[in-house]
Amino acid sequence: MKKYYLHRESTVLKVDYERELNEEQYAAVMHPGGPMLVLAGAGTGKTRTVTYRVARLIETGIRPENILLLTFTNKAAKEMMRRAEFLIGRNIQGLWGGTFHHIGNMILRRHYLLVGYKQGFSILDREDSKDLFDTCRTEIKKRETIIPNGSVLCEMYSLMKNTESSIDELIPLRFPHFINIVDEIKQTIRLYDKKKLTLNLMDFDDLLTNWKGVLLENENIREYYSSRFMHVLVDEYQDTNKLQAEIVDLISYTNRNLMAVGDDAQSIYSFRGAEFENILRFPERYPDVTIFNLTINYRSTPEILNLANKSIIHNSRQFQKELHSVKGSGEMPCLIPLKDIFQQADFVAQRVIDINADGIPLTEISVLYRSHYQSMELQMELQRKGIPFEVRSGLKFFEQAHIKDVLSFLRVIVNPYDELSWKRILKLIPGIGNMTAGRLWDTIYKSESPLDMIFEHGGLVPKKALNAFYLFLDLLKILKAGAYCHTPLQPSAAIDHILRHGYEDYLYSHYPNAEERIEDIEQMMRFAIKYDSLETFISELSLQSASGGEIEEGDEDRERVILSTVHQAKGLEWNTVFVIGLNDGRFPSVRSLKTGTEEEERRLFYVAATRAKDALHLCYPVTSEDWHGLGFLRPSRFIKELPEDVYEEIVVEDV
């Protein structure tokens, strides 16, 4: 008789957790179970802690298929699983790991009938959702009503779903520009939902709402999954929205072995629907929770952490903790008041050259700001000085569609034979596409003055576009009259006319981030004040935007300074960080001061400061010039509330 021997897994731990983890990490990784809240401060090894926790669970006998790891990118989940496999030296295939949407998709593929879908449903990406919304709005649209386009409707719909709000609640708070067409928007959304079901389509938000629906409405399925997942781990818990937190509660209901990992001090995404209360009230939902604090920071010097600690302490709603550095003492953070935004740009560019000359690679230098528009002058100064840079917060300033639109209006005034600019601005008119724009251009360019001739050819425009076309002509009339009178229209005033005479409404109806785009244009207005001539202004901008700082094709590995909003920079780090535009009304933003979200703005400042490893520069201009004249800017309250012993003030003088 032959014998077959089954090899049992050894329960002896292969990983020396006590040696490889610090005391705080070790306590969290080795905890036996139950609800856990791991408050992982910036740079304290959050990913390491989660990875070792997964490894330890499997080493102690938990099967991979009984573990659920929820992250905010699939890449993060794969990396954690790869590291855990390396640690324990065995395959952990079967572990459920990925984003909320990824796991929701896996579950709904099994239970699609319960939410009214058929097998093989398709998933709409954001572009598909936008197109379907555009189809719906075309069917709903009344001639006298301007319903926002698909991308704006997508943003509304997603916020509504993820915050579990109604459109009636959401529009006055987040989209007040559309307060008068709430009924039409609701009608469009109803049609969108109906079409998705008919066409067997789900969008990203459906993957969450339908997943929650399956769990809530089917007790046996809820029991199955909450029993199956013996341990649930959630990364970046502070970024979960209301819907995601409810799903986590449902899926971990039976075993209650939930490990929520995050940092309340880095909760900065409320504009995307993230709910700060999820992490703050976790102990209320789980009264038997064990709270772990990771405070040993491996990234920043003690001086940088001291400044960050002294800032965040001013938030009243938080879990109190203080970060401690393992690094030796370094240089004090610098506070630099500057005359204006131009001197600020000049200073940063010059310091970048000096720091690079001292041996710090350009890729280890970052400039952070609250809003994308604050980088305009700096981009131009870096180009002037030939310093390569990469913009992580969006396109380079003059590559953005809305900036190109405004400049196209100005160009046809200066050069009425500019075909590309004519076609660009004509296609901004609702109801005018490539063919009509082409016919209009073919008619007017043969004349002695295309700028005069355009007023005589309304007959080429479709009826549905006539009202908008006449408003367009009214704007051209203002710009044209200003350009050719005895006191020519100033570039800043011309930009203001374009924005206020129709283009602002165009932005709101076409872009979810219309307010940010308006800020960009207003910044361009401020920049234009020093120019008296439209022609000079356009020429200089064109030359500046086309020179220096560009990364040539095939030169992707070339070093470059990183420019980024703070939101985009979360999770990243650099040797040297500049934070610019630290003025009240800019950082914190005007909107946050009006809406009472000052504490989130302070968390944003905290995130900015803790991106720096060795050097931190805090910059703010003291004056600003706009069309009303010269004004003084107040330093950010986040600077004013800092004790003077946490920074060194630098005085900058022009030589």
pLDDT interval class at 12 (50, 70, 90) = low
Residue 351: Cβ-neighbour burial (10 angstroms; 0-12, 13-18, 19+) = buried
pLDDT given at position 531? 86
pLDDT given at position 638? 97
- Give the model confidence (pLDDT) of 382-411 as tens digits: 999 999 999 987 778 888 899 999 999 999
Pull the structure tokens for residue 78: 């794969």
483 has pLDDT over 60: no
Contacts of 218 (CB under 8 A, 6+ apart): 111, 114
- Beta strands 67-71 and 561-565 are unpaired
Pull the structure tokens for residue 460: 């080429």
- Give the model confidence (pLDDT) of 13-65 as tens digits: 688 999 999 999 999 999 999 999 999 999 999 999 999 999 999 999 999 99
Angle between helices 23-30 and 46-59 (to 10 degrees): 40
Strand partners, 259: 36, 233
Element (H, E) at 191: helix 182-198
Strand partners, 297: 325
Q: Which percentage of the chain shows pLDDT scores above 90?
A: 70
pLDDT given at position 143? 54
pLDDT interval class at 552 (50, 70, 90) = very low
The neighbour count for residue 356, using CB atoms within 10 Å, is: 17
Whether 262 and 239 have beta carbons less than 8 Å apart is answered as yes
Q: What is the rounded distance in angstroms from the CA atom of residue 262 to the CA atom of residue 318?
A: 12
CA 119 to chain CA centroid, Å, is 35
pLDDT given at position 527? 87
Once rounded to an integer, what is the mean pLDDT over residues 516-543?
86
- Beta strands 231-234 and 201-203 are unpaired
Whether 424 and 404 have beta carbons less than 8 Å apart is answered as yes
pLDDT given at position 8? 46
- Give the model confidence (pLDDT) of 221-273 as tens digits: 999 999 999 999 999 999 999 999 999 999 999 999 999 999 999 999 998 89
What's the mean per-residue pLDDT of the chain?
Answer: 90
Q: What is the rounded distance in angstroms from the CA atom of residue 349 to the CA atom of residue 652?
A: 13
Once rounded to an integer, what is the mean pLDDT over residues 339-358?
96
Once rounded to an integer, what is the mean pLDDT over residues 285-304?
97
DSSP letter string, 41-88? -TTS-HHHHHHHHHHHHHHTT--GGGEEEEESSHHHHHHHHHHHHHHH
Q: Which SS3 state, helix, strand or coil, does residue 519 take? A: helix
pLDDT interval class at 466 (50, 70, 90) = confident
Whether 630 and 623 have beta carbons less than 8 Å apart is answered as yes
Contacts of 148 (CB under 8 A, 6+ apart): 137, 156, 178, 185, 508, 509, 510
How far is the CA of 523 from the CAs of 86, 134, 325, 516, in angstroms? 51, 31, 39, 11
183 has pLDDT over 80: yes
